[in-house]
Amino acid sequence: ISGTVTNSYTGQGIPAAAVSFKAVNATFSAVTDSAGAYSVRIVPNAYYDVAFEAADYKPVMSAGSFIRSRDRILNKALEPVARVIIDASVNGTPEPGATLDATASYRIMDGSTLDPAGTGWTQTDGLPADISDPMSASTAVVLGSTSDYAAHLVQVLKAPPITEADLPPDVVLQPINEIEKGLQDRNQVVAINPFGLEKAEHIPLKFTVKTSSGSYSAEVDVLTELPWMVNPGLKTVPVNSPVMLLAKCGDELDEITGEYLCTGQTSFTWSITQRPNGSNATLVDANTRSPWFAPDVVGNYVVQETGGSGANLTVHAGRYHGVIDPVLTLSSVIYGDGRPVGDENCTGCHTDGGAAPDNFTPWRQTGHAEAFTQGINTNGHFGENCFACHAVGFGSAAGGIDSTPNYTNFLNLLTSNQASGDIAYTWEDMLFQMPDTARLSNIQCESCHGPQDYTNAHKDQPGAPRVSLASDVCGSCHGEPERHGRFQQWQLSNHADYDLARSRGDRENCGRCHSGNGFVLWSKFGFDPKEDLTGMVDWNDDTVVPQTCAACHDPHNTGSTSGSDDTDAKVRIMGNSPVLLAGFQATGVGKGATCMTCHNSRASEIAEDGSYIIKTRNDSTWGATVAADLANPDETYTTDRPHHGVQADLLMGQNAYFVKTGNRGKHASGIEDVCVTCHMNKTQPPDILSYNQAGTNHTFAADPKICVECHTGGYPNTAAIQATVNGLLGQLQDALGAAYKKM
């Protein structure tokens, strides 16, 4: 059998192509010559699998061909894997200020002619690098300086995590660039989440070849080795780890570039004015907005900016201690419920009725308390890539889990057990053989509050240095799309509205729902609608946060499982709501009780003594309400409209005129968790921010397509429905306004 193997685009012969005829007991093969020709002798009258293969071409194969006893010619045309094949690479150590070597080669496979003017290197995103000779296949690429990357990281942390184009169809969110929901313009230790750091590191380069048939490209991803670490933005930090600072300077969004411009201050002067004895720590880029330093000795560092921002930050540097008692926990595994047990040095104070809140009892029942334990006992792929979030202090050089004496022994144990498939008792073995390493396993107090050993930020200064209600704390782990992207989902939601928090959140009673600070404070009073928070507000524009993770979830009592149908994730109020400001209680609404605590009409009134009068507004209360208005004609009328956000009233059938009240809607009677079911559980989050669209949707935007699960008749035309309803509401508003004025 003989023939020629050719390029399907050009018809030219392909040299060094492999031709094979494989039967049950024998294989006959040949290689084409420089013109693509081949010849091979085979045993006839047998079935053969025939294959034609060549580098850079798609193989052609046929199975079970019966070849008879005669010579024949068998030609074959192979299609190139691409019209133009490009090989591109970048070599060198990618660190700030480095010069890298970018090299590309290409092979035009379709016979087209090269257009040199359209061929060369470009950068598609990230901090601009200097490409020395973009038109050359081999060129030098010079990366930006450390200060350039610091400024770029700040911009990345400020910017929305995705664009409008990345949103799923029919999911309507507040315009992404309308409100600044990322890193705020404040004097602060900068919180860095994994997604933001990876994006700032990323320098995507592209080599393009343009020919008469089109343009073809190959991309190379350069990940710059930056000196900063993921952190929750606390002022209590691990020693020997970099701390980035930020000065407040009046950010304004540039609508053209999409970057936030510092408009109120152009020069900065930072200095460390106080440090522990023996410290030689120095500020890097001290004359920029975002300098950084690595505290080298345990203790307190006072850092000031004297150029105008007035930044005066005290950073507490310490080492990790760990709160798991390995001996008591081993006893729990063998004889008890198997869950971690806290160090008695901690639980001596943190106990029911003790000097500090008992946060250990609920914590040990959470998924956080077994995030490492379950990984090593059940997941054959669980390893060091997971430890930064599933253990304490990994990679921090401050006494974290990977600094313990038995850490290497633990890695050997884990590797051995995973190789054998016998991993069920890895945690028990670790507690027995490597107790120092086990002490720093799982997600503990120090994961969210910073290291506590050898600092005075714990006992002497409880609170501010070690506690933050900002979602950035959770984002240091739950901010790593695709698998862990709930922080970025939250950033897209209206709950992340810092502008609203600043405008309303510091008002004593508005702040209960318009700030996370107020909501958490209100929780200490059982969300009593009559509780007046006047005089208790200790936050301001620079410290207020919107409704963050810690507002809805008690971080010490989160539940053990989330992201699946078996979720038992907890929120602060479940089952029955407190008596709402709208004057009624929502019962049997599951996790929706937390939502309803704020999302109601807030129809109550403030009495002359400042207390709240809890009441409903319906036909039976109309007369008393009107009488009160007429008796106080100089006061603002209370009968004309409810406060916006009346979702709970509508679901529960309350606070409506001209209808019978108290009849729950089917959404509140037939759906277990009401709001949460449709807005979070059944609606998938944006796939770019979730692994296989798993997990709970924390954009809170319900997808209309889920309506057909209960409402038969096909996918609803939501735009038409909304337009009709808005038109009717407009007519109703005009009619009610006219009638009310007449009355």
Cβ atoms of residues 179 and 102 within 8 Å: no
Residue 460 pLDDT level (bands cut at 50, 70, 90): low
Buried/exposed 498-534: b ≥16 CB within 10 Å, e otherwise:
bebbbebbbeebbbbbbbbbbbbbbbeeebebebebe
What is the C-alpha to C-alpha distance for residues 743 and 741, in angstroms, rounded to an integer?
5
Pairing mode of beta strands 202-211, 214-223: antiparallel
Mean pLDDT of 74-101: 97
Reply yes or no on whether the pLDDT at 563 is more than 50.
yes
| β-strand pairing of 292-293 with 130-131 | unpaired
Q: Chain-wide mean pLDDT for the chain?
A: 91
Sign of CA dihedral 422, 561, 486, 240: negative
In sequence order, which residues have a C-beta less than 8 Å from that of residue 587 and are 6 or more positions away?
Answer: 575, 576, 577
Q: Give the model confidence (pLDDT) of 19-71 as tens digits.
A: 999 998 899 999 999 999 999 999 999 999 999 999 999 999 999 889 888 89
pLDDT score of 463 more than 60: no
Q: Coil, helix or strand for 429?
A: helix
Distance (Å, whole) CA 535 – CA 533: 6
Distance CA 407, CA 726 (A): 63
* Strand 27-31, strand 18-22: pairing: antiparallel
Q: How confident is the model at residue 462 (pLDDT cuts 50, 70, 90)?
A: very low
pLDDT tens by residue, 387-444: 999 999 999 888 899 999 999 999 999 999 999 999 999 999 999 999 999 999 999 9
Q: Terminus-to-terminus CA distance in the chain, angstroms?
A: 102
Phi, psi values for residue 701, rounded to 5° = -95, 115
Tokens of 407: 């850490």
Which of 532, 654, 518, 523 lies closest to 582, judged by CA?
654
Please indicate whether residue 271 or residue 639 has the higher confidence score (pLDDT): 271
CB 522 within 8 A of CB 508: no
Cis bond before residue 482 (omega within 30° of 0): yes
User: Among candidates 499, 501, 503, which has minimal Cα distance to 519?
Assistant: 501
Q: What is the DSSP pairing of strand 188-189 with strand 270-274?
A: unpaired
Q: Going by C-beta distance under 8 Å and a sequence separation of 6 or more, which residues neighbour residue 398?
A: 238, 239, 240, 241, 318, 319, 320, 451
Task: Using CA atoms of 461, 465, 467, 469 in order, give the dihedral in degrees to the nearest 10.
Answer: 140
Contact call for residues 581 and 602 (beta carbons, < 8 A): yes
Asked whether the predicted pLDDT for residue 80 surpasses 80, the reply is: yes
pLDDT at residue 420 in the model: 95
- Region 329-350 average pLDDT: 93
- Give the distance from CA 256 to its chain's centroid: 26
Confidence band of 461 (pLDDT split at 50, 70, 90) = low
Nearest CA to 478 among 493, 492, 490, 496?
Answer: 490
> Rounded to 5 degrees, what angle do the CA atoms 101, 156, 283 make?
80
Phi, psi of 499 (to 5 degrees): -60, -45
Residue 306 has pLDDT above 80, yes or no: yes
Q: Identify each DSSP E strand in 448-490 by its residue range.
A: none
Scanning the structure block, which residue is given the tokens 């050359």? 136
Which structure tokens are listed for 151?
């400024």
pLDDT at 605: 65
Residues 290, 154: contact at Cβ < 8 Å? yes
- The reported pLDDT for the residue numbered 525 is 94
Look at residue 506 in the predicted model and tell me its pLDDT: 85
Note the pLDDT tens digit of each residue in 468-487.
999 999 999 999 887 789 99
pLDDT value, residue 163: 85
Kindly state the average pLDDT of the residues 340-361.
Answer: 90
- Average pLDDT for 114-126: 95
Which of 455-464, 697-706, 713-722 is the least confident region?
Answer: 455-464
For residue 249, report the phi and psi dihedrals to the nearest 5 degrees. Answer: -150, 20
Nearest in space to 544 (alpha carbons), one of 583, 591, 502, 494 = 502
Residues 6+ apart with CB under 8 A from 598: 512, 513, 519, 547, 645
The two tokens of residue 246 are 């930020």
CA-closest candidate to residue 595, choices 555, 545, 633, 650: 650
Q: How far apart are CA 731 and CA 739, in angstroms?
A: 12
Distance from C-alpha of 328 to C-alpha of 336, rounded to nearest angstrom: 10
**Confidence at 283, pLDDT banded by 50, 70, 90:** very high
The most confident of 257-271, 500-514, 577-591, by mean pLDDT:
577-591
Is residue 110 within 8 A of residue 40, CB to CB? The reply is no
State the average pLDDT over residues 267-275: 96
pLDDT for position 623: 81
Considering the chain, what percentage of its residues have pLDDT values greater than 70?
A: 95
What's the CA gap between 435 and 432, in Å, rounded? 6
- Residue-wise pLDDT for 641-692, tens only, equals 678 889 999 999 999 888 899 899 999 988 989 999 999 988 888 888 887 6
Tell me the C-alpha distance between 352 and 356, whole Å. 8
Token pair in block for residue 208: 């393009």
Is residue 629 over pLDDT 80? Answer: no
pLDDT digits (tens, 9 = 90+) for 125-175: 999 999 999 999 999 999 999 999 999 999 999 999 988 888 876 667 777
Taking 70 as the threshold, does the pLDDT of residue 289 lie above it?
Answer: yes
SS (H, E, C) 70-88: CCCECCEEECECCCEEEEE
Cα distance between residue 411 and residue 350, in whole Å: 33
pLDDT of residue 307: 87
How high is the pLDDT of residue 174?
A: 77
In the prediction, which pLDDT does 255 show?
78
Other Cβ atoms less than 10 A from the Cβ of 563: the count is 16
Decide: 19 and 30 in contact? Cβ < 8 Å: yes
Longest Cα–Cα distance of the chain, Å, equals: 113
| Predicted local confidence at residue 531, as pLDDT | 84
